[in-house]
Amino acid sequence: MAQVSDKPKFVTREEVKMPPLKELTSMRDKIAPGHRLCTGCVAGTILRQMFMAAEAADYTLIIANATGCVEVCTSIYPYTSWKVPWIHNAFENAAATITGVEAAYKALKKKGMLPSDKKVKFVALAGDGGTYDIGFQSLSGAFERNHDFIYVCYDNEAYMNTGIQRSSATPRHASTTTQPAGKVIPGKPQPKKWMPEIAVAHGIPYVAQLAPSNFNDFFKKFTKALNTEGPSYLNIFCTCPRGWRAKEEEGILISKLAVETNYWPLFEVENGSWKINYKPKERKSVVEFLKKQGRFKHMFKSGNEHLIEELQQDVDKRWERLLKLEQL
């Protein structure tokens, strides 16, 4: 394991060379077509964006995938969508699993037993449930042990695979099957857990928040994570048309609105220093983001204006905190 004290150097955003889109899109896909993700599921888009960055940097990803939509939809025996080494162990242990693989890599490398000496990067891939909730302990342990891996959370803000149950990543007032908008309780009472700052608190070298609508930024951040020694945490916005009751063709648009409304700010944290990568010239009202999604529909009923206000406050508070963190 890398020494916790030696601060890794980062490639700067300017140093990340993004090949022309034409070149990127003609790269051999590492995720095969025919998987069972819903039409319009942005998780699939995220995977492709990850693989483009990895391919461009000549890295092979070795992935441990937590139970969830991506895992279930891509590995129905006897088929697999994965053209890279991939393992599913259980729901709550993607981080522990990938650190075991990484430890094996070191051990077998020492023994001269590795079949290939190409560049590899270890990736734990999990949904918000597998990250913010049930996989939290395993994730925290893996960060603290300072293994060399990227933790990717595709955050679709609920337990989708089991039928849209609330998680600690679900935003305030969203309607889910376990906290539905009712006459007395209007959806989830608690605000969304602020995971990136918890990741930063571990003292890991690189934490970033990404959105698939902003591919340029996505590409740079993933490339930086590839080049970081030690743990990286990537929190990725992931539209779930099914669970959010949104239009299948609007996944990327909703991601864009999330960024433009500051609902999903794009930032990165290198060795504890925060930087906001995109500040909208004119921040849109969160309403623009909410109105595209059925999970927030009840908030638009007359008499419920305060629900929208409260969510807007959550968004503004987080943005202000980010601005402060950037000043540190």
Ligand X SMILES: Cc1ncc(C[n+]2csc(CCOP(=O)(O)OP(=O)(O)O)c2C)c(N)n1
Q: Which residues sit at the interface with ligand SF4, rule CB under 6 A?
A: 37-38, 41, 43, 69, 73, 156, 160, 240-243
Q: How far is the CB of 24 from another protein (least distance, A)?
A: 21
Name the binder of 272 from ligand SF4, ligand X, another protein, none, CB < 5-8 A by kind: none
Name the binder of 268 from Mg ion, ligand SF4, ligand X, none, CB < 5-8 A by kind: none
Strands 120-127 and 206-210: unpaired
Return the number of the residue (143 or 218) whose C-beta is nearest another protein.
143
Reference 101, options 82, 83, 114, 118; nearest CA is 114
The reply to whether 159 sits near ligand X by the rule CB under 6 A is yes
Bridge partners of residue 267, in order along the sequence:
209, 276
Q: How far is the CB of 73 from ligand SF4 (least distance, A)?
A: 6
Residue of 55, 71, 102, 128 that binds Mg ion (CB under 5 A): 128
CB 282 within 8 A of CB 260: no
* CB half-sphere exposure, 155, CA atoms < 13 A: 28
What one-letter code names the amino acid at 268? E
| Residues making contact with another protein (CB under 8 A) | 60, 62, 64, 71-72, 75-78, 80, 82-90, 92-93, 95-108, 110-111, 113-116, 118, 120, 137-138, 140-141, 144-145
Return the number of the residue (164 or 195) whose C-beta is nearest ligand SF4.
164
Return the number of the residue (104 or 323) whose C-beta is nearest another protein.
104
**Of 21-29, 81-89, 108-116, 154-162: span binding ligand X (CB under 6 A):** 154-162
Name the binder of 21 from Mg ion, ligand SF4, another protein, none, CB < 5-8 A by kind: none
Mark residues 112-151: x for contact with ligand X by CB under 6 A, - for none: --------------xxxxx---------------------
Report the alpha-carbon distance of residue 36 to residue 70 in Å, rounded: 9
The reply to whether 44 sits near ligand X by the rule CB under 6 A is no
**Of 85-93, 121-129, 217-225, 268-276: span binding Mg ion (CB under 5 A):** 121-129
CB 284 within 8 A of CB 263: no
Strands 267-270 and 206-210: antiparallel
Q: How far is the CB of 103 from Mg ion (least distance, A)?
A: 28
Distance from chain centroid for Cα 167: 15
- With b meaning 16 or more CB within 10 Å and e meaning fewer, what string describes 70-95? bbbbbbeeeeebbeeebebbebbbbb
Report the alpha-carbon distance of residue 21 to residue 9 in Å, rounded: 28
Q: Which tokens hold the place of 21?
A: 């889109």
Q: How far is the CB of 105 from another protein (least distance, A)?
A: 6
SS3 226: helix
SS3 64: strand
Block residue for tokens 């995938």 = 65
Return the number of the residue (165 or 312) whose C-beta is nearest ligand SF4.
165
Name the binder of 312 from ligand SF4, another protein, ligand X, none, CB < 5-8 A by kind: none
